[in-house]
Amino acid sequence: MLAQPKVKKLLSTDHFWVDGTLIEAWASMKSVKPQDGSGEPPAEGGGRNAEADFHGHKRSNDTHALTTDPDARLYRKGKGKEARLCFMGHGLMENRHGLLVDACLTLADGHAERVAALHMIEPRAERPQAITLGADKAYDAEDFVNELRSMRVTPHVAQNTSGRSSAIDGRTTRHGGYAVSQRIRKRIEEAFGWIKVVAGQRKTRFRGRDRVGWAFTFAAAAYNLVRLPKLMAETG
């Protein structure tokens, strides 16, 4: 779809934004069992759908596994938030019209967003001209920023200065393009909002990383298809 001449002319080849979003797994917390078979929480009432009391029982991906979908992972979105069974969807957006030029799905963990971002931007970094990649504060890590610079990708990553020093300094923030990238960041949230609400991907109805990933990528393509007629009409 993106290779079609009428679509291709709409796309920026220089400026991109990347982000990730959680896709809730089609599974219940009751399916999370200790890997060694011990420490099961006491069930109330018996039977197949008996209620289980998980209070006081610590669960992690290192010690527990999901029996109904082994690819789903326990993931906590932030400090004080409850852990959920999730996958992580990733999107790469071009900045001119906010179309998604790549999408993928990974297991949910603390490094998935940065690894997926490098994977998606790498093919576009092979062109002679330098490009930019915007991202939110979760991507403000020294190894990620250095990896982008080694690929001749200018990191327009939002600075995270909460009790730490940012990997982004004046070499980047002094340029006007950095401020422009930060203003455009909400566009990818609009794409994720459509994918999760309209396309029904907030909670997947599939199991297994391959099937969940196919559904997420299909929804990303559908988002582009919905927007393209209006964009083509506006640009002639």
Which residues is 22 bridged to in the sheet? 88
**Contact between residue 167 and residue 142 where contact means Cβ atoms under 8 Å apart:** yes
The answer on 147 and 40 residing in a single domain is: no
C-alpha to C-alpha distances, 5 to 2, 8, 14, 131, 217, nearest whole angstrom: 8, 5, 18, 22, 22
What proportion of the chain, given as a percentage, has pLDDT over 70?
83
How sure is the predictor about 28, in pLDDT bands with cuts at 50, 70 and 90?
Answer: confident
The answer on 79 and 114 residing in a single domain is: no
Domain of 49, in residue numbers: 29-85
Structural domains counted in the chain: 2
Surface-to-core class of residue 233, CB atoms within 10 Å of its CB (0-12 exposed, 13-18 middle, 19+ buried):
exposed
Residue 31: is its pLDDT beyond 80? no
Looking at every residue in the chain, the average pLDDT score rounds to 86
The answer on 93 and 81 residing in a single domain is: no
Measure the CA angle with vertex 207, ends 206 and 209; round to 5°: 105
The answer on 54 and 43 residing in a single domain is: yes
Give the tens place of pLDDT for each residue, 57-107. Answer: 565 555 556 677 888 888 887 776 777 889 999 999 999 999 999 999 999
The answer on 132 and 65 residing in a single domain is: no
Residue 84: predicted pLDDT: 85
**Which among 85, 113, 131 is the end of a domain?**
85
The residue that leads in pLDDT, 30 or 220, is 220
The answer on 121 and 67 residing in a single domain is: no
C-alpha span between 83 and 2 (Å, rounded): 37
The answer on 56 and 104 residing in a single domain is: no
The answer on 45 and 144 residing in a single domain is: no
The answer on 190 and 175 residing in a single domain is: yes
**Which among 37, 59, 85 is the end of a domain?**
85
The answer on 205 and 154 residing in a single domain is: yes
Give the tens place of pLDDT for each residue, 147-156. Answer: 999 999 999 9
Q: What is the CATH number of the domain that holds 225?
A: 3.30.420.10
Q: What is the mean pLDDT of residues 39-49?
A: 53
Residue 108: predicted pLDDT: 92
Note the maximum CA span of the chain. 67
The answer on 197 and 123 residing in a single domain is: yes
The answer on 108 and 11 residing in a single domain is: yes
